Amino acid sequence: MTVGDSIIEESSHMMATYRRWPVEMVAGSGCRLTDSAGRSYLDFVAGIAVASVGHAHPRVTAAVTEQAARLVHVSNLYVTRPQAELAARLGALTHGMLSFFTNSGAEAVECALKLARKWGKDTAGPHKSRIIATNEGFHGRTLGALAATGQPAKQRPFAPMLAGFTHVDFGDGRALAEVMGDDVAAVLLEPIQGEAGAVVPPEGYLRAARSLCDDWKALLVLDEVQTGIARTGAWFAHQHEGVRPDVMCLAKGLGGGLPIGACLADPGVAATLTAGDHGSTFGGGPVQCAAALAVLETISSEGLVERAAVAGERLMSGLRALPHGGRVRGKGLLIGVAFEHPVAHALAGAALERGLLVNDATPHVMRLVPPLVISDDEIDEALGILEEVFGEIEAA
Ligand SMILES: Cc1ncc(COP(=O)(O)O)c(C=O)c1O
């Protein structure tokens, strides 16, 4: 598990923003990656919940290569068919929401924040601009999304933050009710907190948030960047509670690895943003949109929404049966194991040594987000490796 000196040398020319494992990945197929030394890894990270249909899925590869050979970029000054088709497909999946395409999850959140602020002003006046978000929530690293991210340690070095955000504990409907008011433009929530370590709120929380937003004429904005696109065993995690958001952010699993995100909104809300209000040079480029169309097609034709639910049950019950003393939580294939001690990084390292990729979402939480195409055999193989890893780290 070492990389060549030349890669180390070249990496020194990059800003040191990432703590990386010393492994150079060179190829991927399905749920496996191969490094430069020819070692194979079972991938339960999936590019941080991105490789939804696995690596190098033939349908995605064909869509990307065909589109790249025809047209890669024109900007949003012109229409392209892949973008229009993707918007129509997402509209069909969301009962008519309209899309704005971005290059990342953070940008989808930025669009949602701007939309909410302008909607508040247009519908009620300049006072209606406050955004409620949650402690430990994560919405991205750009300054607007960071202001919404309820993690002071991530915000502090970049203070002052954008004003007008209130944070409350996640999963606590009463706390949410207490901070609502006429000045609230939107409540921004992850249906399940992903980066916080697959934190599932109590049943009824999203319904409570929906009804508070209705009472106070505020938008319910759901950040489904990590939970969306079948990850939790439904196309979108809010469907488990039967609520409908006004605005929804997507990214990660949407492009199967190509950088694409989307901010979707109900038409009446989406109408707030008019020409010149928002934009992106690269957002919704034809290659990314062709990839996303292929991903959505694959999820439908291979029954991956249902598969994520079934595979998630198998993985979670297998994890619960292992001797580790942690708490297993999550939904579908967004799973965390929360430990009392900060052992998650050590566990990820020990798993990597044995050919399994998992990640430490927080120092205390090991996260498992394999591709939705993960097979029963691959799940059992991962459980076998984790059993050894838990034994080793417990003994350490
Ligand atoms: C819920 C959520 N929102 C937003 C983001 C930011 O996405 P990106 O890293 O693509 O900007 C993430 C990334 O982990 C996320 O989990």
Query: Among residues 175, 231, 180, 179, which one has the least CA distance to residue 201?
Result: 175
Q: What separation in Å is there between the alpha carbon of 345 and the centre of ligand 1?
A: 20
Residues 217 and 285 in one domain: yes
Total number of domains in the chain: 2
Domain final residue pick, 256, 271, 301: 301
Other CB atoms closer than 10 Å to residue 174's CB: what's the count? 9
Q: What separation in Å is there between the alpha carbon of 143 and the centre of ligand 1?
A: 13
Residues in the chain: 396
Residues 127 and 273 in one domain: yes
Query: Which DSSP symbol is given to 226?
Result: T
String of DSSP letters for 20-55: --S--EEEEEBTEEEETTS-EEEESSHHHHT-TT-B
What mean pLDDT value characterizes the chain?
96
Count how many Cα atoms sit within 13 Å of the Cα of residue 164 in the half-sphere of its side chain.
21
Q: What pLDDT, in 10s, does the model give residues 169-197?
A: 999 999 999 999 999 999 999 999 999 99
Residues 119 and 67 in one domain: yes
Residues 65 and 167 in one domain: yes
Query: Among residues 103, 100, 59, which one has the least CA distance to residue 290?
Result: 59
Residue type for position 52: S
Quickly state the pLDDT bin for 4 (edges 50, 70, 90).
low
Catalytic residue among 43, 223, 246, 360: 223
CATH number for the domain including 321?
3.90.1150.10
Domain final residue pick, 264, 279, 301: 301
Q: How far is it, in rounded angstroms, from Cα 302 to Cα 373?
A: 9
Q: Confirm if 258 and 291 have CB atoms less than 8 A apart.
A: yes
Domain final residue pick, 268, 301, 334: 301
Q: Confirm if 34 and 28 have CB atoms less than 8 A apart.
A: yes
The parent domain of residue 280 ranges over 58-301
Q: Provide the whole-model pTM.
A: 0.97
Q: How far is it, in rounded angstroms, from Cα 168 to Cα 115?
A: 22
The pLDDT assigned to 396 comes to 46
Q: Confirm if 217 and 210 have CB atoms less than 8 A apart.
A: no
Residues 89 and 209 in one domain: yes
User: Best mutation site among 229, 252, 362, 365 for ligand 1, i.e. most ligand atoms within 8 A of its Cβ?
Assistant: 252
- pLDDT of 249 > 50? The answer is yes
Ligand 1 site, CB within 6 A: 104-106, 109, 138-140, 190, 194-195, 223, 225-226, 251
Residues 307 and 296 in one domain: no
Residues 169 and 272 in one domain: yes
Quickly state the pLDDT bin for 328 (edges 50, 70, 90).
very high
Question: Which 3 state secondary structure label does DSSP give 330?
Answer: strand
* Average of per-residue pLDDT across 117-130: 98
44 is catalytic: no
Handedness of CA 139, 144, 146, 147 (dihedral sign): negative
Query: Which DSSP symbol is given to 70?
Result: H
Query: Among residues 205, 196, 212, which one has the least CA distance to residue 330?
Result: 196
Q: What pLDDT, in 10s, does the model give residues 7-21?
A: 767 778 999 999 999
Query: Which DSSP symbol is given to 201?
Result: P
**Which numbered atom of ligand 1 lies nearest the CA of 140?**
6
* Average of per-residue pLDDT across 264-276: 98
The sheet that has 25-29: what strands, in order across it?
Answer: 25-29, 32-35, 40-43, 356-357
**Which numbered atom of ligand 1 lies nearest the CA of 227?**
1
